[in-house]
Amino acid sequence: MSCWSVGQVSGFAGVTIRTLHHYDRSGLLSPSERSPAGYRLYNGADLARLQQILFYRELGFPLDEIAEILADPQANALDHLLARRQALTEQIARLQKLVDVAERAIEVQRTGLELGPEERFEVFGDVVFDLSYAADAHLKWGERESHQEALARAAAHSKEDWRQLMAEAAAWRGRLLAAFDEGLPADHEAVLDLAEEHRQHITRWFTPCPPEMHCRIADDYEADARAFALVVPAAEQRPELPGYLRTAIGRNAERHGTGDREATR
């Protein structure tokens, strides 16, 4: 019977000696033979098992699941493969969406606003655009026409457009913080007017924003600090402010006839 050393198997199987030693220590693949000098040797059955291991590893199976499949001759490998195919399909879909995010970012960089550091601070101040949030938002909302329109319109804004819309946002933010610090309740008419002003700001500069959509945006403000930082920079935030704004936006939606706030979530 032919046998092969660790070094030989490493060479023709395309795996490192360290990996083979790890498989040995974990019990996943231990050489079955020994040389007269006591060195471990792999036989044909060992190589067949290694081929199975490498096949499952290529598909992304974790080692413990591979061990489970190989340990039971009666195990239904098809079930594992079907589950893995589903996971890979979902991963491919997610990666494709990330490709779309990258392409959109490239498009914005090519056609959108280009500012130096000083100009960026002049226009945007302390408002931080978190790229990780942008990617997550695209994965969540990317198929919606409103999201695509908002990205397209944002990319088309000139420096003067951004200066104007950010000035409007800063003035609105100042009034919101004043109302909050004054202790006005979230359903106070003045606060509801601020919520409506915010909705109209989104419509004017990015995409039509019906009350139901505004409520979904407000949910993000309360759930994700990265989203709320687009409205109120971290240095100006108050602990209860995201929930306060969310409540005001919900009450404003009711004021416009969308029904109970929970129905819009």
Amino acid type, 27: G
Q: What is the pTM of this model?
A: 0.53
Cβ burial, residue 129 (10 Å; 0-12/13-18/19+): exposed
For 192-209, how does the pLDDT look when each residue is reduced to its tens digit (9 = 90+)? 999 999 999 999 999 999
The shares of helix, strand and coil residues in the chain, as percent rounded to the nearest 5, are 70, 5, 25
The pLDDT value given to residue 66: 92
Contact 128, 166 (CB under 8 A): no
The pLDDT value given to residue 263: 35
The pLDDT value given to residue 49: 93
Amino acid type, 137: A
3-state secondary structure of 205: helix
The pLDDT value given to residue 119: 54
Averaged pLDDT, groups of 10, the chain, 265 residues long: 91 94 95 91 94 91 91 76 87 79 58 53 54 64 80 83 90 96 97 98 94 95 90 91 97 80 39
- CA-nearest of 256, 118, 146, 119 to 208 is 146
**Arithmetic mean of pLDDT over the chain:** 84
**What number of other Cβ atoms are within 10 A of residue 98's Cβ?**
13
| Burial profile 139-171: b = 16 or more Cβ within 10 angstroms, e = fewer | eebeeeeebeebbeebbebeeeebeebbeebee
Cβ burial, residue 13 (10 Å; 0-12/13-18/19+): middle
The pLDDT value given to residue 15: 94
The pLDDT value given to residue 230: 86
Q: How far apart are CA 41 and CA 38, in angstroms?
A: 9
The pLDDT value given to residue 97: 75
Amino acid type, 16: T
